[in-house]
């Protein structure tokens, strides 16, 4: 089941966020515990869902996947939005959960935010994520070489967009 995360979901969110940043540290710009996760979560739930939201995929009462959306912050970018932090727990991958979260996020962003473009960033080693975004219709429009540094290794970010 997919639903918006609300205030009462904070513990499940923090657990899954910690898992994502621990299990896939090369896939996200933030690190655990550098990200102030409680404040991050509160920033998403205290504003209208037309501005930003987090969707979660629940399996038998357990949060196993999530995706974040944020609409452009200033007037001239409010026709755009950004998807971030798509993560599905490894034990639940290859079941269509990521794709379901992505489609639901796009649908909700289109309806609630009335946006025309969605942007996202994929780290170069995230081939399965890149393939998923491409299958859904996202197009590559640029790269940021050496955008992320993990220990002594650099990773390039691929910039993608979807017109809706």
Domain residue extents for the chain: 2-115
Phi and psi of 115, rounded to 5°? -90, 165
pTM score, two decimals? 0.89
Is a pLDDT exceeding 70 seen at residue 63? yes
- pLDDT at res. 33: 52
Peptide bond into 160 cis (omega under 30): no
Percent of the chain with pLDDT strictly greater than 90: 59
Cβ-based neighbour number of residue 161 at 10 Å: 18
Euclidean distance between CA atoms 164 and 80, whole angstroms: 10
Cβ contacts of 22 within 8 Å, gap of 6 or more: 32
- pLDDT at res. 34: 46
The mean-pLDDT minimum among 26-35, 91-100, 117-126, 138-147 falls in 26-35
- pLDDT at res. 57: 98
Q: Which CATH number fits domain 2-115: 3.40.630.30, 3.30.9.10, 2.60.40.10, 3.40.1280.10?
A: 3.40.630.30
Is a pLDDT exceeding 90 seen at residue 54? yes
Distance between terminal CA atoms of the chain? 24
Percent of the chain with pLDDT strictly greater than 70: 93
- What's the burial of 138, exposed, middle or buried (CB within 10 Å: 0-12/13-18/19+)? buried
- pLDDT at res. 27: 66
């Amino acid at each position: 089941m997919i639903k918006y995360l609300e205030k009462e979901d904070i513990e499940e969110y923090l657990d899954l966020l910690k898992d994502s940043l621990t299990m896939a540290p090369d896939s996200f710009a933030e690190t655990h515990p550098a990200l102030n996760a409680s404040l991050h979560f509160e920033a998403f739930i205290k504003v209208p869902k037309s501005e930003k939201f987090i969707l979660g995929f629940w399996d038998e009462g357990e949060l196993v996947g999530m995706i974040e959306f944020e609409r452009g912050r200033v007037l001239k970018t409010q026709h755009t939005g950004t998807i971030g932090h798509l993560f599905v727990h490894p034990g639940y991958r290859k079941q269509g959960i990521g794709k379901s979260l992505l489609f639901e996020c796009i649908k909700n962003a289109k309806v609630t935010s009335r946006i025309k473009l969605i942007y996202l960033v994929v780290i170069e080693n995230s081939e399965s994520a890149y393939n998923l975004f491409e299958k859904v219709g996202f197009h590559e429009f640029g790269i940021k070489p050496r955008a992320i540094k993990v220990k002594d290794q650099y990773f390039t970010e691929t910039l993608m967009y979807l017109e809706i």
